[in-house]
Amino acid sequence: MKSKTKKNVPVLDVKKLKVNFQTKTGKVTGVNDLSFSIFPGETVCLVGESGSGKSVSSLAIMRLVEFGGGKIDAGTIMFASNSYVQSDLINSDQNKMREIRGNQIGMVFQEPMTALNPVFTIKRQLTEGLRVHKQMSKNKADLEALNLLKSVRIPEPERRLLQYPHELSGGMRQRIVIAMALACKPKILIADEPTTALDVTIQAEILTLLNRLKKETGTSILFITHDMAVVAQIADRVVVMYHGEKVEEGNVNEIFNNPKKDYTKKLISSVPKLGAMLGKKYPEPLKLDSKNNVKSIKIVGTTKPLLEVKNLVTRFPVTGGMFRKKIANLHAVEDVSFTINRGQTFSLVGESGCGKTTIARSVLRLEESESGEVCMEGVDILKQNKKDLLRQRLNMQMVFQDPYGSLNPVMKLFDQVAEPLINYKIVIGHNLNKKISELFDKVRLPRSFLNRYPHELSGGQRQRVAIARALALNPKLLILDEAVSALDVSVQASVINLLLDLQEELGLSYLFVSHDMAVVERVSHYVGVMYLGRMVEIGDRQTIFSNPTHPYTRALMKAVPIADPKKRFNRDDINFKPISSPIRDLGFVPEPSSYNMIKKGHYVLKNNIGYN
Amino acid sequence: MFEYTVRRLLIAVPTLVIISLVIFLVLSLAPNDPMAQVPLTVPPEVKEKMREALGLGQPLYVQFWKWLVQFFWIEPQVLIDYFFGTNYSEDKLRVISWQTRAPVMDTVMQRLPQTLWVVGMSYVVAIAISIPIGIYSAYKQYSIFDQTGTFITMVGYSIPPFFTGPLVIVIFAVYLEWFPSTYDTLHEVNNWESFIIQLKQMFLPVMVLAIQGTAQISRYMRSAILDNLNQDYVRTARAKGLSESIVILVHVLRNSMIPVITVIALNLPLIFGGAIITEQVFKVNGIGQQLILAIYANDLPTIQTLTFIFAFLIVFFNLVADVLYALLDPRIRYE
């Protein structure tokens, strides 16, 4: 390999990079004094939380930052092209950059759902770069596109070429974006949070794919992520960033085993680790750092049932044809039963499309279920009329995933939290002020925030407002639908701790819906694993995590990245089955769920649902 | 896609019937008497007989039914006879104008070409000018070009044709004497000189109508491009090393045209409405002018028929917009 002899010459050498953004209120520094280098065949991870400048740095290398209003004010970015002649990308004009972009440096973006142009076929988007940079003829480029799809292991590559992006799943789209970035065999692949928007099993597949492609082609990878567990899986070297500046740089083993800076330590410790709760019967808050005086509490709860869901079935009609008749059913939830005890947490875990959110919404009757029972303290929610249902909803409130979308941008926070109380006419007049202030105290928000608007708050603060709003009516049950998934790790950790504190303090029950196994392990008393609308395994948390029995549960556990560079994915382990369609003909009668009892309280689905 | 179109067509039929009923009822509420212009020497009994001869003695629902039959059943037969030389419509009663005592549709067919030439040409001109302007102002947002364009389009948008019409006549026809102030329908194009004259006489009405169209479409185009410029796929296209012209004119434009095409199709019938006034100002004897004359003369069958034709155009272009939308955007093709 030619790279062997030149191993000591970095392909990319960034020195003292400074990027500013011109905004209405003045200059904002995106990246300041950043230096790092990437050697041939190496994977360097830029890691940091949102706003740390990691994406800005990658866009600066591509010189795409200028299209977003940024300006590179200082520094050099030396890039060694194929002939090992170093040139400074900062002084290159946009014509020169066009020859480098997509040709010598490829880029993969975070959001596969929007990174592809919706109105062109996959083939057209894949061949564009080849025809521009390699001057390939149309036929030759088409052939090469097919080879590229094969190299990223897409099933049925010939068919995919003729499809449009919306016809493909997120994981497949991300593979296509990777194929596109690799089309011209670039020297460097920049991957900006490429797995953040994906399910864990698909994330594991994409990470192994990137590792394999790196070995096969010798491409260097600049990998940008906020997730320390992913870093451990893929990095050779790590650059930790905070507020636009480099905090620490080092070999992946050094960073994990011997972090020098406090910020790095905090970043590592706030990652919920799978297996961290081993041997502990009850959930307890995360210890964020040694100085913090976190009370060592154990949330025991009670064993008295609060909510009992029995044989719940929720289906959505699929319409089609001339008169939009119902032509099929989407079986979102199929014969699911579980119980939530007072003061305890039941978690629903599974990948996107498995029906976990539909269950959460069905319990509140935000979706109408086809059959089954949802008994809250013995009252069947599904049988209530409108008025009684309204009264029942006093007992259960919901917190949603996206703290940006779930608060009204034009209402003051005080009014938003007060809304449920006014709605039910529970507290009026002067007492309202007192009540809302207390709620803000409860979720550890300063009272000075009462008259602010949502856009003045960070994501974590907004989620606290959403929790305060849910708590306003003193509910017995909180439904947390991916409530911590959209938050940065350190913020996530503190919101989890808040939720656990509140549970201990108020004796709340939680229905915790999440795709994140490590978070679920931290907060749950009982866990149900969902797949294709069915509950495939249910039991207490310790049992599920120490003795996963259903093959799907095992696959899910295996896919969770471990924040330890010594425990990387074994390539042979990664062989997940694509989820089949939950859409069935009208006449289809699903068999009832039947379970094997492994031990008392631990059940595993017997039905064959295509994952055995 | 086919099913979608057919379903939309099926919905259009009851929509049109209800529209025609509403037009009919509103017109019959209007206080008017086709005999009002008849000299006072004619005795009332005779006037009454004349009214009955026009079919006015019948109850409203019979009148409406007869109009429906005449418009939807007999008039299409006339059209078929005209094209294929058959004689299905022989001796059948057509929609007759009270004013001219001739079939309304005959007059419409005589006048339609003028309207189509002027209105159609103005729309083509408006689209041809506004799309490049919209693209460039979006790409160079807040540049001098964009600011000037915004100002001019604001002016063009807010000044109605009945003002710009006389204004351009005063400037170009009276002072500069570059173009004629009226449109001569009898002018025949048979050589180069007469073609130039035709162009000249079309220029002012086309310009007046195009000003408004340009202002609207270029605003929509600009905002559609701006929406798309911030999309992730644009960044992906740039990251592939594509040139700016391909990024903008292929990737962004195709996506931006989706909403703009809809606006273009939906605004086309509105332009016909605007043409009513413009035709009046420039003395173009198109169907807009026909409508105005019919209103002056209390000619209910003509008003009813023309209003319905405008309504039909609106429904039809709505359908066209929906189908074009589905064609341009693969995401909604299969729904």
Alpha-carbon distance B259 to nearest alpha carbon in chain A (angstroms)? 13
CA-based nearest residue in chain A for residue B232: A115
CA distances for A174 relative to A226, A574, B235, B266, angstroms: 18, 17, 15, 37
CA-based nearest residue in chain A for residue B326: A119
Distance CA A549, CA A9 (A): 50
State the pLDDT at residue B11: 85
State the pLDDT at residue A287: 73
Nearest to A196 by CA among A333, A49, A80, A322: A49
Compute φ and ψ for A337, nearest 5 degrees. Answer: -130, 140
Q: Show which of residues 199-258 on chain B sit within 8 Å of chain A, judged by CB atoms.
A: 231-233, 235-244, 246, 251, 254-255, 258
Residues of chain A with pLDDT under 50: 1-5
CA-based nearest residue in chain B for residue A63: B239
Q: Which of B240, B255, B257, B335 to mutate to test the interface with A (most CBs of A within 10 A)?
A: B240
A612 membership: H or E segment, kind and range: none
Alpha-carbon distance B205 to nearest alpha carbon in chain A (angstroms)? 38
User: Considering only CB atoms, which chain A residues are within 8 Å of B329?
Assistant: 118-119
Q: Are residues B89 and B164 in the same domain?
A: no
Distance CA B161, CA B211 (A): 9
Compute φ and ψ for A433, nearest 5 degrees. Answer: -55, -45
Alpha-carbon distance A211 to nearest alpha carbon in chain B (angstroms)? 22
Q: Do B251 and A117 touch (CB under 8 A)?
A: yes
Q: Measure CB to CB from residue A98 to each of B231, B233, B243 and give the nearest one.
A: B243
Q: Report domain A305-605's class.
A: alpha beta
User: Considering only CB atoms, which chain B residues are within 8 Å of A181?
Assistant: 239
Q: Do A106 and B231 touch (CB under 8 A)?
A: no
Alpha-carbon distance A173 to nearest alpha carbon in chain B (angstroms)? 12
Q: Do A67 and B238 touch (CB under 8 A)?
A: yes
Distance CA A196, CA A171 (A): 11
Q: Do B237 and A99 touch (CB under 8 A)?
A: no
User: Considering only CB atoms, which chain A residues are within 8 Å of B235?
Assistant: 64, 67, 109, 115
Question: pLDDT for A295-335, tens place per residue?
Answer: 567 888 888 999 999 999 999 988 776 677 888 888 899 99
Q: Are residues B141 and B265 in the same domain?
A: yes
Alpha-carbon distance B320 to nearest alpha carbon in chain A (angstroms)? 18
Q: Are residues B166 and B93 in the same domain?
A: no
Q: Do A132 and B242 touch (CB under 8 A)?
A: yes
Q: Do B254 and A164 touch (CB under 8 A)?
A: no
State the pLDDT at residue A10: 87
Task: Tell me if residue A324 falls in helix, strand or coil.
Answer: coil
CA distances for B245 relative to A70, A362, B143, B252, angstroms: 21, 50, 19, 10
Q: Are residues B62 and B195 in the same domain?
A: no
Asked if residue A410 lies in contact with residue A490, where contact means CB atoms within 8 angstroms, the answer is: no
CATH number for the domain that contains residue B317: 1.10.3720.10
Compute φ and ψ for A444, nearest 5 degrees. Answer: 55, 45
Which CATH superfamily does the domain covering A2-269 fall into?
A: P-loop containing nucleotide triphosphate hydrolases (3.40.50.300)
Q: Do A100 and B243 touch (CB under 8 A)?
A: no
Asked if residue A516 lies in contact with residue A587, where contact means CB atoms within 8 angstroms, the answer is: no
ipTM over 0.90: no
Cβ–Cβ contact A106 with B under 8 A: yes
Q: Do A180 and B232 touch (CB under 8 A)?
A: no
CA-based nearest residue in chain B for residue A98: B241
CA distances for B313 relative to A109, B27, B114, B272, B278, angstroms: 46, 20, 17, 9, 19
Cβ–Cβ contact A65 with B under 8 A: no
Q: Are residues B187 and B117 in the same domain?
A: yes
Q: Show which of residues 162-221 on chain A sit within 8 Å of chain B, judged by CB atoms.
A: 164, 166, 177, 180-181
% pLDDT > 90, chain B: 14
Is the fold of A2-269 the same as that of A305-605?
Answer: yes
Distance CA B270, CA A113 (A): 38
3-state secondary structure chain B: CHHHHHHHHHHHHHHHHHHHHHHHHHHHHCCCCCCCCCCCCCCHHHHHHHHHHCCCCCCHHHHHHHHHHHHHHHHHHHHHHHHHCCCCCCCCCCCECCCCCCEHHHHHHHHHHHHHHHHHHHHHHHHHHHHHHHHHHHHCCCCHHHHHHHHHHHHHHHCCHHHHHHHHHHHHHHHCCCCCCCCCCCCCCCCHHHHHHHHHHHHHHHHHHHHHHHHHHHHHHHHHHHHHHCCHHHHHHHHCCCCHHHHHHHHHHHHHHHHHHHHHHHHHHHHHHHHHHHHHHHCCCCHHHHHHHHHHCCCHHHHHHHHHHHHHHHHHHHHHHHHHHHHHCHHHCCC
Q: Do A102 and B242 touch (CB under 8 A)?
A: yes
Q: Measure CB to CB from residue A128 to each of B3, B235, B242 and give the nearest one.
A: B242
Let me know if residue B19 belongs to a domain. Answer: no
State the pLDDT at residue A3: 42
Query: What burial letters (b/e) apply to A514-535, b meaning 16+ CB within 10 Å?
Result: bbbbbbbbbbbbbbbbbbbbbb
Q: Are residues B163 and B286 in the same domain?
A: yes
Average pLDDT over residues B247-261: 91
Where a domain ends, among B51, B67, B97? B97
Asked if residue A310 lies in contact with residue A373, where contact means CB atoms within 8 angstroms, the answer is: yes
State the pLDDT at residue A295: 59
CA-based nearest residue in chain B for residue A124: B251
Q: Are residues B64 and B187 in the same domain?
A: no
Distance CA A510, CA A283 (A): 12
Q: Are residues B137 and B181 in the same domain?
A: yes
Asked if residue A408 lies in contact with residue A414, where contact means CB atoms within 8 angstroms, the answer is: no
Per the DSSP assignment, residues forming a β-bridge with B16 are: none
User: Considering only CB atoms, which chain B residues are within 8 Å of A164?
Assistant: 330-331
Let me know if residue B303 belongs to a domain. Answer: yes
Asked if residue A106 lies in contact with residue A186, where contact means CB atoms within 8 angstroms, the answer is: yes
CA distances for B75 relative to A440, A508, B88, B90, angstroms: 73, 74, 10, 11
Task: Tell me if residue A18 falls in helix, strand or coil.
Answer: strand
Q: Show which of residues 255-294 on chain B sit within 8 Å of chain A, judged by CB atoms.
A: 255, 258
Q: Do A117 and B233 touch (CB under 8 A)?
A: yes
Q: Do A118 and B238 touch (CB under 8 A)?
A: no
CA distances for A314 relative to A532, A606, B58, B102, angstroms: 12, 21, 58, 65
CA distances for A425 relative to A53, A419, A471, A474, angstroms: 47, 10, 15, 14
Sign of CA dihedral A203, A208, A209, A210: positive
User: For chain B, how many structural domains are there in total?
Assistant: 2
Cβ–Cβ contact B5 with A under 8 A: no
Close Cβ partners of B13 (under 8 Å, ≥ 6 residues apart): none
Alpha-carbon distance A510 to nearest alpha carbon in chain B (angstroms)? 37
Q: Do A102 and B241 touch (CB under 8 A)?
A: yes
Let me know if residue B321 belongs to a domain. Answer: yes
Q: Measure CB to CB from residue B254 to each of A62, A119, A321 and give the nearest one.
A: A119
State the pLDDT at residue A476: 93
Q: Which of A100, A109, A117, A178 to mutate to test the interface with B (most CBs of B within 10 A)?
A: A117
For residue A285, the Cα-to-chain-centroid distance in whole angstroms is: 21
Question: pLDDT for B194-207, tens place per residue?
Answer: 888 888 888 888 88
A128 membership: H or E segment, kind and range: helix A122-133
Distance CA B130, CA B150 (A): 12
State the pLDDT at residue A4: 43
Asked if residue A335 lies in contact with residue A312, where contact means CB atoms within 8 angstroms, the answer is: yes
- Report DSSP state, residue A101: B
Q: Determine which of A35-49, B85-99, B180-194 has the lowest per-residue pLDDT on average.
A: B85-99
User: Considering only CB atoms, which chain A residues are within 8 Å of B328?
Assistant: 119
- Structure token digits, residue A273: 């680790």
Q: Are residues B92 and B121 in the same domain?
A: no
CA-based nearest residue in chain A for residue B228: A117
CA-based nearest residue in chain B for residue A68: B230
Domain holding B176, by residue range, is: 111-332
Question: How many residue pairs from chains A and B have C-beta atoms closer than 8 A?
Answer: 84
Sign of CA dihedral B100, B106, B108, B112: negative
Residue B191 has pLDDT above 70, yes or no: yes
Q: Measure CB to CB from residue A119 to each of B232, B242, B255 and give the nearest one.
A: B255
Cβ–Cβ contact B45 with A under 8 A: no
Strand pairing report for A534-540 and A602-605: antiparallel
Q: Measure CB to CB from residue B328 to each of A119, A177, A323 and give the nearest one.
A: A119
The domain segmentation of chain A, as residue ranges, is: 2-269, 305-605
Q: Are residues B206 and B303 in the same domain?
A: yes
The one-letter amino acid at A191: A
Asked if residue A363 lies in contact with residue A447, where contact means CB atoms within 8 angstroms, the answer is: no
Q: Do A114 and B231 touch (CB under 8 A)?
A: yes
Query: What burial letters (b/e) apply to B84-98, b meaning 16+ CB within 10 Å?
Result: eeeeebeeeebbbbb
Question: pLDDT for B102-153, tens place per residue?
Answer: 888 888 888 888 888 888 888 899 999 999 999 999 998 888 999 998 888 8
Let me know if residue B14 belongs to a domain. Answer: no
Q: Are residues B156 and B298 in the same domain?
A: yes
Let me know if residue B5 belongs to a domain. Answer: no
Q: Are residues B55 and B140 in the same domain?
A: no
Q: Do A109 and B251 touch (CB under 8 A)?
A: no
Let me know if residue B306 belongs to a domain. Answer: yes
| Helices B192-229 and B121-139, axial angle in degrees (round to 10) | 40
Distance CA A363, CA A348 (A): 13
Q: Do A181 and B330 touch (CB under 8 A)?
A: no
Q: Measure CB to CB from residue A111 to each of B232, B243, B258 and give the nearest one.
A: B232
Let me know if residue B34 belongs to a domain. Answer: no
- Report DSSP state, residue A581: P
Length of chain A counted residue by residue? 612
- Report DSSP state, residue A120: S
Query: What burial letters (b/e) apply to B280-308, b meaning 16+ CB within 10 Å?
Result: bbbebbbbbbbbebbbebbbbbbbbbbbb
What Rg, from alpha-carbon coordinates, does chain B have?
24
Nearest to A522 by CA among A502, A551, A545: A545
State the pLDDT at residue A408: 92
